[in-house]
Amino acid sequence: MPISTSEPSGEAHQHDLRSAFAVEIKAEARQLGFDAVGFASAVAAPVDSEHLNAFVDAGRHGDMGWMAERMAQRAAPQVLWPAARSVIALGMNYGPDIDPLAALECADRGVISVYAQGRDYHTIVKKRLKRLARWMVARGSAAGLDVDVKVFVDTAPVMEKPLAARAGIGWQGHHTNIVSRNYGSWLFLGEIYTTLDLAPDPPAPDSCGQCTRCIDICPTDAIIAPGQLDVQRCISYLTIEHKGHIPSEFRGAIGNRVYGCDDCLAICPWNKFAQTASEAGLLPRDGLVLPLLADLAALDDAAFRQLFAGSAAKRLGRNRFVRNVLIAIGNSGDAALATCAEARLNDASPLVRAMAIWALGQLAPARAKALRAMFSASESDEDVRAEWQQMPD
């Protein structure tokens, strides 16, 4: 039923207007390309704050210092924006058309996480959120409702996953990500905070049950208990967020993953209901689906920027990306790729040089030993020298 544009009279009529408007918001959201939408109260849920505090206090956030900043705003929407009364949580499906786990068998090629194979989802989702927000303000004003809004996509102190769960668009699985009955583990999230008082949707019940597939498949045992993640062990964190050298204990487990890891998402049994993404911008680009490791290792900064133009992976930067590529090369078992590692021993980046040493040592240990004296003598970076010194005699 469309909302009336007649002059409102009384709280009861305002309630009726808000209820009708809520229906229209959901319809408009779907018209704009969102696959899931729900409402939650902007009032803080104490359990969210407790979980966040415990996570940060345990140091499980690693290099992501921003998680320890503005914690009060992150845990409570009304601290971030006191005028907020409701949160509209939205999801956009990015389901792949192939099994991401199959790509792990292609040892000479790099695996880029599904979410980064298309255009940057931040740009796509935020553009749709803004369109929905503008529509809400205009439509609400015409109906006599005072509506103000703020939009967020993974770039502000907002606890997106707990809010999405409270709004009923999915539940936080044992891997800590949102799981949907209709889209499995493949939803991008965005939020609209609004001054409009909307009736909250019932939260989605936890439907993981006794399943431990995501826990069992994690290559580095980063999921330490259902719903508890030690990000410092997570391959997505190590290959994307971690700015330094990747600890040797995790390098073998990284395999050929050069940007992120989808294992815990891809193994989820709820993916049997998942659908392939319909948003054209989220579909994978040819150059980002299983690119050759040899080609990736040769990237300079300009070529890196060109390859990842418009992708979420661009923010990683060339040096950290090639660091990851060299780890994948070291794991490839392909001696022919040793020349790619050797070519990077003189790279300007210590991150790259260190992993070139490691990769060469994995594929051509005799050649690495032969080069050790020459390169280590002129090496100025302590961590890179340590890589040479740690090489077995």
Provide the residue ranges of all domains of the chain, joining segments of one domain with +: 11-291
Please work out, in degrees rounded to the nearest 5, the angle formed at the alpha carbon of residue 92 by the alpha carbons of 278 and 270.
90
Per the document, the length of the chain is 393
Task: Give kind and range of the element (H or E) at residue 128.
Answer: helix 121-142
pLDDT band at 44 (very low <50, low <70, confident <90, very high): confident
Confidence of residue 8 (pLDDT cuts 50, 70, 90): very low
- Evaluate if residue 326 carries a pLDDT over 50: yes
**Taking 50 as the threshold, does the pLDDT of residue 373 lie above it?**
yes
Whole-number average pLDDT of the chain? 93
Would you place residue 67 in the very low, low, confident or very high pLDDT band (cuts 50, 70, 90)?
Answer: low
> Within a 13 Å sphere around the CA of 248, how many CA atoms are in the beta-carbon half?
12
The pLDDT, as a whole number, for residue 65 is: 65
| pLDDT at residue 293, as a whole number | 98
Name every residue whose Cβ is closer than 8 Å to that of residue 194 and which is 6 or more positions away in sequence.
84, 85, 86, 87, 88, 136, 147, 148, 149, 150
Does the pLDDT value for residue 3 go beyond 60?
Answer: no
Determine contact, residues 67/51, Cβ cutoff 8 Å.
no
CA atoms within 13 A on the CB side of 13: 10
pLDDT of residue 37: 98
**Annotated catalytic residue 347:** no
Contact 72, 235 (CB under 8 A): no
Q: Is the pLDDT of residue 50 over 80?
A: no
Model confidence, pTM? 0.92
User: DSSP class of residue 61?
Assistant: T
User: What pLDDT was estimated at residue 231?
Assistant: 92
Could you tell me the CA-to-CA distances from 15 to 135, 209, 301 in Å, in that order?
Answer: 20, 38, 56
In this prediction, residue 2 carries a pLDDT of: 53
- Please state the φ and ψ torsions of residue 189, each to the nearest 5 degrees: -115, 150
- Could you read off the pLDDT of 233-271 as tens digits, one per residue? 999 999 999 999 999 999 999 999 999 999 999 999 999
Give the pLDDT band of residue 32 (cuts 50, 70, 90).
Answer: very high
Range of weakest confidence among 12-21, 82-91, 327-336: 12-21
pLDDT band with cut points at 50, 70 and 90 for residue 160: very high
Which position among 63, 148, 154, 295 bears the catalytic label?
154
Q: What pLDDT does 61 receive?
A: 63
Q: What percentage of residues in the chain have a pLDDT greater than 70?
A: 94
Which has the minimum average pLDDT: 7-21, 101-115, 135-149? Answer: 7-21
Mean pLDDT of 342-353: 98
The model's confidence at residue 64, banded by pLDDT at 50, 70 and 90, is: low
Give the pLDDT confidence score for residue 22 in this predicted structure.
94
